[in-house]
Structures are given as structure tokens and as C-alpha cells.
Amino acid sequence: MIIHTPVLRDEVCSFLDPKSKLIVDCTLGHGGHAMVLLSLAKNARLVGFDVDQLMMDKAKLRIESWELKVGDRIEYIHGNYSDIKNVLNGRKADFILNDLWVNLEHFKAVERGFSIRGDAPLDMRFDTSTGSTAADIVNKYTIDQLKTVFEIYADFSPSKALELAKHIVTTRKQKPIITTQDFKVVLNDCGLWDKACTVIFQSLRIETNKELENLKMFLSEFPETLNSAWRCLIITYHSIEDRFVKQAFKDLVATWNYKLVTKKPVMPNYKEVAINRAARSAKMRILEKINE
């Protein structure tokens, strides 16, 4: 079984008050963060979200076979963290962690269609039971819609984004773009190789799963679910995500009901990056709600 390595694990734990009663892990994954948080806050309950049922099943199996028996201290929610307010239903969290990185297994499991490696259906959905696939987007979006995805999420120049969008539309008229390799060939035809292809795949994944829309909703909802004098930690990996989080936290601090725990984002040290290169772009921002 592939086990995802939790990013900034020690740093996350350093901001946890062991007296926490309710913890929310917005992206449960394989349970790496959740397990260490439960081991430190021994009287806490944890609500764990994951939109991917396969990841949740694996996390549940791992946690249930764990030597530390947590019993009913953990509540598994198959759904998006953007629904935090409805799920908590009036309960107030003492500690909220939202790690926005994609589980390593999504890339290693080539058949899910997230990776430029191998050949598989161009799917990219975290929740394979609903929503449009990446192939649907590539084959149905207009030139302007595709251009926007590549320009905003992949940070391509307007001219290059337009060139790529036009080539996709021309290609799909001759033959639908169905697999990861179909799509990669289109990108190669536009002079994009592995590094640039990876960025384009990432932008398509963000659009497929409505990642930024879900983050915006969470940022508007979580303040109502956070207990006074307790904390929300968000780990981002993309400049757009970090910009949203930074601005949302700044706006909350301006209300005088919140404070930033650290002036600058917490980032992985060189030792962690050497072991886990996926951590290299991580930035963690921490907000604390002030006693009302």
C-alpha cells in the first residue's frame, strides 16, 4: 500500500493544544496528520473529510488497525471540506487543519488519470462517482474557457494559453481526446514537454475538481465553526491558493476578532524537502480566533 507522507507534520503538531476537544482534518488522505493529532490530543474527537472514498477507506483501515485504539473518537465524512459548516451543524472546532496537497497515491495510481506517465482515461476526479471528468472539459470547453484555465491556473501567457486552447479544439474535431497520452500528444505538438505538461495537467485537475471554488467556500464558512482562542491551519502548494488564504486571513484579522499566529508562512526545512520533494512548495498559514 502506498502511504502518503504528511507535510509539515511536526510543525502542525507544534500549534496543537493537547487540550483540544474537537479537531477537523479537512483532507484526511491516508490519515497521517489525523493519527498524530489524535495521539497528542488524547481527549479529542476528530472529524475527517475526504472527497475520495478510496482514500477514506484506506485511512479507516489504517486507523482501525493502529495500536492506539481511538474507537468512536473519529468521524469519517465522505464529502468536501467546503461543507464544514453543515457537517459540524453548530459544533465548534478547536483545531482545523486543511492540507490542500493531492495525495501521492493519485499520481502513483496511473489509472486515475492524474499523471503524465503511463496511459489511462483522462479522468482526474477525486470523487469518481460524480461530476465531469478532465476529458469532458478538454472535449467540451470553448476556446475561451480553456484559455482561462491555462492562463490562470497554469500561469501561461495569454498568447500561449490561446495557442494551446485553439490546438485542443482543432484536434478534438478530428478525434476526441480520451486518454492521458492523447492529451500529452496535443501538448507536445504545441512544444510543451514534461515539466510544462505537468503544469497543464495540474491546471486541468484544479478545474476538474473545482478546487479553488471549494477553497473560497471554506474560507467564507470556517470562521463560524471555530471556537474562540483556537486555531485554523491551512497548507497551500499553489500561488493562487496561498493568495486566497493570505487575503482571507488578512480580512479576518482586520475585524479584530482574529490574529495571525506567525507573520510569515511556515515552510518545510531542508531536511523534510530532501526526504519528501512534494513538500518543497508548501506554505502553512495559521489563524487564531481571539476570545470574544
CATH number of the domain to which 50 belongs:
3.40.50.150
pLDDT tier at 105 (50, 70, 90 boundaries)?
Answer: confident
Mention every residue, 6+ apart, whose C-beta is less than 8 A from residue 161.
146, 147, 148, 150, 151, 154
Q: What gap in Å lies between CA 65 and CA 3, rounded to an integer?
A: 14
Domain check: are 195 and 217 in the same one? no
Q: Are residues 75 and 133 in the same domain?
A: no
Burial class (CB in 10 A: 0-12, 13-18, 19+), 25: buried
pLDDT at 106 > cutoff 80: no
For residue 103, the model assigns a pLDDT of: 78
Q: How far apart, in whole angstroms, are the C-alpha atoms of residue 149 and residue 121?
A: 20
Q: Which of 208, 243, 268 is the last residue of a domain?
A: 208
- pTM (2 decimals)? 0.93
Residue 2 has pLDDT above 90, yes or no: no
Q: Is residue 112, in this structure, part of any structural domain at all?
A: no
Q: Is residue 4 part of a domain?
A: no
- Report the share of the chain in percent with pLDDT over 90: 86
Verify that 226 and 201 share a domain, yes or no: no
Q: Which of 208, 237, 260 is the last residue of a domain?
A: 208
Please tell me whether residues 51 and 191 are part of one structural domain. Answer: no
Q: How far apart are CA 41 and CA 80, in angstroms?
A: 24
Is residue 229 domain-shared with residue 273, that is, in the same domain? yes
User: What gap in Å lies between CA 182 and CA 221, rounded to an integer?
Assistant: 39
* Same domain (yes/no): 276, 197: no
- Note the pLDDT of residue 1: 55
**Overall number of domains in the chain:** 2
Strands (DSSP E) contained in 86-155 are 93-99
What tens digit of pLDDT does each residue of 197-253 get?
999 999 999 999 999 999 999 999 999 999 999 999 999 999 999 999 999 999 999
CATH of the domain at 184: 1.10.150
- By residue range, what is the domain housing residue 260? 9-105+212-289
Instruction: Look at residue 276 in the predicted model and tell me its pLDDT.
Output: 87
Instruction: For residues 243 and 266, give the distance between their C-alpha atoms in angstroms, rounded to a whole number.
Output: 15
DSSP β-ladder status, 93-99 and 226-236 = parallel
Q: Please, which pLDDT band fits residue 292 given cuts at 50, 70 and 90?
A: low
Work out the average pLDDT over 126-134. Answer: 94
Flag whether 116 is in a domain.
no
Q: Do 91 and 216 belong together in one domain?
A: yes
Average pLDDT value for residue range 170-184: 97
Confidence of residue 118 (pLDDT cuts 50, 70, 90): confident
